[in-house]
Structure 1
Amino acid sequence: MERIWLQHYPPGVPAEIDVAKYSSLVALLEESFARYRDRTAFVCMDKAMTYGDLDEMSRAFGAWLQSKGLRKGARVAIMMPNVLQYPVIIVGILRAGYTVVNTNPLYVPRELQHQLKDSGAEAIVVLENFAHTLEKVITNTDVKHVVVASMGDLLGMMKGTIVNLIVRWAKKMVPAYALPGATWFNAAIAAGKGMSLSEPQVGPDDVALLQYTGGTTGLAKGAILLNRNVVGNMLQIDAWLQPVLDKEPRIDRLTVMAALPLYHIFAFTACFLLSIHTGGLCILIPNPRDIPNLIKELAKREVNHFPAVNTLYNALLDHPDFGSIDWSLLKCAVGGGMAVQQTVAERWLKATGCPVVEGYGMSETSPVLTCNSPHTTEWNGTIGLPMPSTDIFIRDDDDNDVPLGEIGEICARGPQVMPGYWQLPDETAAVMTHDGCFRTGDIGVMDATGNVRIVDRKKDMITVSGFKVYPSEVEAVASDHPGVFECAAIGVPDARSGEIVKLFVVKKDLRLTEAELLAHCRTELTPYKVPKSVEFRTELPKTNVGKILRRELRDEPQKIDARA
């Protein structure tokens, strides 16, 4: 196919990246440790860690893991938020020749058990705040080795002790648990410093991560991300952003705000890896929902790169202390995980002078497939152009390319695309095409410039009397009302028309009424698309990165019926 998008690439962005530049993530990491050894790599709760510190501690942790007899390729799970231990653990696992299994620390026992059993994880590192969940399921898994970390582990003797006392006793954030035989994180590091790390040969086709899908469309599946997949996507992101990072005023090095959790693939690649590769400084935020604290952290730093989701940008803009932040050196604000709304994008640009650049991807693609130009100055409603070395096709149900401008399923091919799902050959076959493309499950359209616009997810479409209604369209219209903070549209059963549209809304203006909002929708939507009811909520169900879960809202009537 002709890559029509290349002629519209931002100046300085190459058509291709050199996927073979690094043989593995380990090679990439080792280069940064040698090049930037004395620089600060990570900061969390005002405690700094240099690249040299990360090199030494990760080497010790990897050696400790190897002392447990784990074979190359063994899966090691991590269950914690963004704390200083996280980069140490990730790098230690990779250097030891093992596979990282990123695990949401807020999983309930059922979800955790599924992921540990499915991945076959033999070891896990868990923050003590969540150890009680692990206790409930560990006997039903293959986990043999447990490392327990505390919030204060790497904060220094005095500060670490104070933080642990507050977390455990004042805030009571550590429920009682019993994990016999578990090793404390600091004890593992101390023991590992007296051991030698065997350096196994890690290549591009070795599995770096098992990245589990969010489960928004069913049971979570493990996307197999090879070293070459993740390295490739990091290089693609770097190539895409470098021209704007080099703009005046120049910066000495990248400062990244990691408010999104590192266990999410967007933050793993766009924050963690990009920062290390460029010798940057990465600010780790353990709890991004604590908006006042996040604003304090942003006010301390001259942040250059701030990947986030629409809901986080929106929450920051609405906080009264938002004006205390100096955004003069902000180069990139990349929106992913969910659609960036026009009202939020326009408010952000006006407030900071830096546009929110919307990108698109998923766990299966390491994650970024497309992105808008970081040079853009206005919201265009698209997810941008395909990344370097990436092909995007719009296809019908028979895998035929549809004419330019017509709607079809977004299919992708590139170095960042996974080879398949972990131990699920049938599921893999269902999403991969004969020519190596990944079927995203998203419905979209490509214009004459190569920009792609998402219409909606296949499974989220609402059918009203045979007519298709895309929830994102309804949500975009409703969000334009000044009284709406955020919203979600779903289809609910209806005897007359099969389904009708129902809208869930969190108010910005408490005086907003259902009648007023529906009148607004009627001016912008054809009658069958207009919601038939509005339910006001104080909050909407979301993933940990702030993506609204329509599926949970759709499931609620079934739960109610089951209890009746």
Structure 2
Amino acid sequence: MAPMTDLYRRPTFADMVSRSLQNHPDRVAFITPAGDLSYEQLRRLIARIAFAMRDAGVRSGDGVAMLAPNRPEAFATLIAAMSLGARYTPLHPMGSLADHVTVCADADITTIVADGSRYAEHGAALAAELDAGPRVLHIGGGSPSDVLAGPDTDEPIPALASESDIGLLGYTGGTTGRPKGVMLPHRSLVAHLYLSVAHWQLPAELRFLGSTPLTHALAGIVPPVFHQGGSVVLTQGFDPAEFCETVQRHRITATFLVPSMIYVLLDHIAEHPADLSSLQTILYGAAPMSPDRLEQALDVFGPVFVQFFGQSEAPNTVTCLSKEDHDLRRPKLLASCGKPHPMLDVAVLDDEDRPCGTGERGEVCVRGPLVMDGYWKQPELTAETLRNGWLHTGDVGYLDEENYLYLTDRKKDMVITGGFNVYPREVEDAVATHPQVAAAAVIGVPDPKWGEAVTAFVVRTPGATVTPEELIALVRELKGPVHAPKSLEFLDALPLTLLGKVDKKQLRARFWDERDRAVN
């Protein structure tokens, strides 16, 4: 007789994927240049890889890292690892060997899975640098360690994990210091799946274009698509011309883009018109989006946008701005990131963790089943971030009278100039109101008079003639002299992180790297 605890057993993330695949065995899961893969074929592939990993010695509680491009086997491997009770750590394909060594050493990785056709040498070099001497397995490549070479099986995907096990140990670098391993148990990952299905307004006929890394953010988007019986078309990265061609060829109905991708796409379409009318849902998030460029996007694509706000510590779905909220008749909402889901508590708190009033700025804080367990091997940072029963996101914002959340900046990004607090997001949005501005980023740089000087970096639209002086005057007119940049520099493109966010750390480097601290 099974123990009574099984009566109330909650599904793990791997369970949810397994059951979705069983519900739609004949539908197409992945569409790739190499061919299509059905739900049943994907289910069998996950089981096959799971048993091959088990036979290679992977056990519950082990750390498994993976380095792979966008291919179905990568998704199958991360679900297989989770199904065994192992914790999965993604390695970004564009990361350096030194970055990967730092992450794997901190995460106590015992198994590295590498795409054999692209990263076999990198995987071997990585293992050689680690004192733990992790095993290296391959997906593809035909080597003896190829987990795809294991025998096919009729067995179901294993269900060896529990909801309290860490399913994902992802690393976030932040702007300074040691990378942080964010411990997301299956509880958090399943909550994310539920919230995604509830929030994202995905179309009934669901063909999803995945061009962001499948080992990272896309890994959290694919399961909601499968939950609804949809298909995922995979591409190797984002190129605006390829994006438009893929949407037209496959009649794509949904996709996910970070704001910087949307900006590039808008500029491309302005020069090369394309029929993207099949798109019914464009998810966006990961970074703030300029309201003016969002208004432009609505003019081009129509009311198809859904914004989600979250962070690694509470992934993706803390709030959502629906298609209906993207209303040009209510332009104020375009600066919002939406309303919290009833499953979560979301509050704006002051420095003493007291609730702020309506419209009053403070730190955005979250609690609920979505929130991480803490930071891997960093108890003091965990205690500080999760103090008083709240996840302190580090984001500054306010709630309006209708409970819409507005983010004004990150606490660590705030510029203190002449004794005044300036939030870069406000300056960036002001600069972006000019029609010849494609993108903008603002930082504080050391200044002997002001302490920090507000400094802007701007990408202009093709053929633009606007001058720095004009843009500085525009900010002075819209926001006042305190917010007006002391200097403004034009760039061909803003530097981006591996996940497509503006890399302000890189922008700050030439001003702050020779100093003992990044404040003045």
TM-score by length of 1: 0.83
What secondary structure does 2:401 align onto?
Answer: coil
Is the aligned partner of 1:97 residue 2:85?
yes
Structure 2 segments unaligned to the other structure (5+ residues): 1-7
Answer whether contact 1:124 1:143 (CA < 8 A) is retained: no
Q: Give the whole-Å Cα distance in 2 for the aligned partners of 1:221 and 1:183.
A: 33
Q: Could you tell me which residue of structure 1 aligns to residue 137 of structure 2?
A: 147
Answer whether contact 2:12 2:161 (CA < 8 A) is retained: yes
Q: Give the whole-Å Cα distance in 1 for the aligned partners of 2:395 and 2:10.
A: 31
- Residues 480, 259 of structure 1: alpha-carbon distance in 2 compared, 3 angstrom cutoff: same
Letter in 1 for 2:100: L
- Residues 47, 560 of structure 1: alpha-carbon distance in 2 compared, 3 angstrom cutoff: farther
2:295 to 343, 346, 361: 346
- C-alpha distance after superposition, 1:99-122 (max 9, x if no partner): 211111111122111110111111
What secondary structure does 2:212 align onto?
Answer: coil
Answer whether contact 1:131 1:148 (CA < 8 A) is retained: yes
Is the aligned partner of 1:235 residue 2:189?
no
- Residues 130, 506 of structure 1: alpha-carbon distance in 2 compared, 3 angstrom cutoff: farther
Q: Could you tell me which residue of structure 2 aligns to residue 307 of structure 1?
A: 256
- Residues 475, 198 of structure 1: alpha-carbon distance in 2 compared, 3 angstrom cutoff: closer
Q: Could you tell me which residue of structure 2 aligns to residue 475 of structure 1?
A: 428
Q: Could you tell me which residue of structure 1 aligns to residue 5 of structure 2?
A: none
Q: Give the whole-Å Cα distance in 1 for the aligned partners of 2:320 and 2:443.
A: 27
Work out the percentage of aligned pairs sharing the same amino acid: 28
Q: Could you tell me which residue of structure 1 aligns to residue 369 of structure 2?
A: 415
Letter in 2 for 1:273: P
Q: Could you tell me which residue of structure 1 aligns to residue 29 of structure 2?
A: 41
Displacement of 1:202 after TM fit? Answer: 1.9
2:232 to 282, 285, 288: 282
Letter in 2 for 1:409: E
- Residues 46, 520 of structure 1: alpha-carbon distance in 2 compared, 3 angstrom cutoff: farther
What secondary structure does 1:367 align onto?
Answer: strand
- Residues 184, 506 of structure 1: alpha-carbon distance in 2 compared, 3 angstrom cutoff: farther
Q: Could you tell me which residue of structure 2 aligns to residue 361 of structure 1?
A: 310
Answer whether contact 2:348 2:398 (CA < 8 A) is retained: yes
Letter in 2 for 1:144: P
Q: Could you tell me which residue of structure 2 aligns to residue 324 of structure 1?
A: 274
TM-score by length of 2: 0.90
Answer whether contact 2:31 2:232 (CA < 8 A) is retained: yes
- C-alpha distance after superposition, 1:77-101 (max 9, x if no partner): 1112322222221222122332211
Q: Could you tell me which residue of structure 1 aligns to residue 43 of structure 2?
A: 55
Larger % of strand: which? Answer: 2
Structure 1 segments unaligned to the other structure (5+ residues): 1-19, 154-181, 246-250
Q: Give the whole-Å Cα distance in 2 for the aligned partners of 1:198 and 1:545.
A: 30
Answer whether contact 2:22 2:43 (CA < 8 A) is retained: no
Q: Give the whole-Å Cα distance in 1 for the aligned partners of 2:53 and 2:81.
A: 8
Q: Could you tell me which residue of structure 2 aligns to residue 440 of structure 1?
A: 393
- Residues 33, 22 of structure 1: alpha-carbon distance in 2 compared, 3 angstrom cutoff: farther
- C-alpha distance after superposition, 1:506-542 (max 9, x if no partner): 2213433222322322221211211111122222211
- C-alpha distance after superposition, 1:379-423 (max 9, x if no partner): 511111002301111111111112222111000011110111111
Answer whether contact 1:126 1:149 (CA < 8 A) is retained: yes
Of structures 1 and 2, the one with the larger relative CO (CA 8 A, separation 6+) is 1
Displacement of 1:268 after TM fit? Answer: 2.4
Is the aligned partner of 1:372 residue 2:324?
no
Q: Give the whole-Å Cα distance in 1 for the aligned partners of 2:223 and 2:144.
A: 26
- C-alpha distance after superposition, 1:185-242 (max 9, x if no partner): 7x42122437978835322111111121143344321111111111111111111235
Answer whether contact 1:109 1:134 (CA < 8 A) is retained: no
1:262 to 214, 224, 238: 214
Displacement of 1:552 after TM fit? Answer: 1.5
- Once the two structures are superposed, the pairs formed by residues 189-268 of structure 1 within 5 Å of their partners are 189-193=148-152, 199-242=158-201, 245=203, 251=204, 253-265=205-217, 267-268=218-219
- Residues 199, 149 of structure 1: alpha-carbon distance in 2 compared, 3 angstrom cutoff: closer
Letter in 2 for 1:40: V
Q: Give the whole-Å Cα distance in 1 for the aligned partners of 2:499 and 2:374.
A: 24
Answer whether contact 2:318 2:341 (CA < 8 A) is retained: yes
What secondary structure does 2:434 align onto?
Answer: coil
Answer whether contact 1:121 1:143 (CA < 8 A) is retained: no
Displacement of 1:554 after TM fit? Answer: 0.9
- C-alpha distance after superposition, 1:331-367 (max 9, x if no partner): 3222201112112211221112224332210011123
Displacement of 1:286 after TM fit? Answer: 1.4
1:499 to 452, 464, 467: 452
Answer whether contact 2:60 2:160 (CA < 8 A) is retained: no
- C-alpha distance after superposition, 1:158-203 (max 9, x if no partner): xxxxxxxxxxxxxxxxxxxxxxxx9467x42122437978835322
Displacement of 1:136 after TM fit? Answer: 4.2
Displacement of 1:480 after TM fit? Answer: 1.4
What secondary structure does 1:49 align onto?
Answer: strand
1:396 to 346, 350, 370: 350
Q: Give the whole-Å Cα distance in 1 for the aligned partners of 2:54 and 2:32.
A: 28
Query: What's the Cα RMSD here?
Result: 2.4
Is the aligned partner of 1:547 residue 2:501?
yes
Answer whether contact 1:62 1:96 (CA < 8 A) is retained: yes
Letter in 1 for 2:80: G
Answer whether contact 1:443 1:457 (CA < 8 A) is retained: yes
Q: Could you tell me which residue of structure 2 aligns to residue 125 of structure 1?
A: 113
Displacement of 1:439 after TM fit? Answer: 0.2
Answer whether contact 2:456 2:485 (CA < 8 A) is retained: yes
Is the aligned partner of 1:79 residue 2:31?
no
- C-alpha distance after superposition, 1:425-454 (max 9, x if no partner): 1110010022x2100001110111111101
Letter in 2 for 1:468: N
Q: Give the whole-Å Cα distance in 2 for the aligned partners of 1:360 and 1:268.
A: 17
Answer whether contact 1:22 1:28 (CA < 8 A) is retained: no
Aligned residue pairs: how many? Answer: 500
- Residues 217, 392 of structure 1: alpha-carbon distance in 2 compared, 3 angstrom cutoff: farther
Displacement of 1:45 after TM fit? Answer: 2.5
Q: Give the whole-Å Cα distance in 2 for the aligned partners of 1:470 and 1:224.
A: 30
- C-alpha distance after superposition, 1:291-311 (max 9, x if no partner): 222221111123232221111
Answer whether contact 2:47 2:158 (CA < 8 A) is retained: no
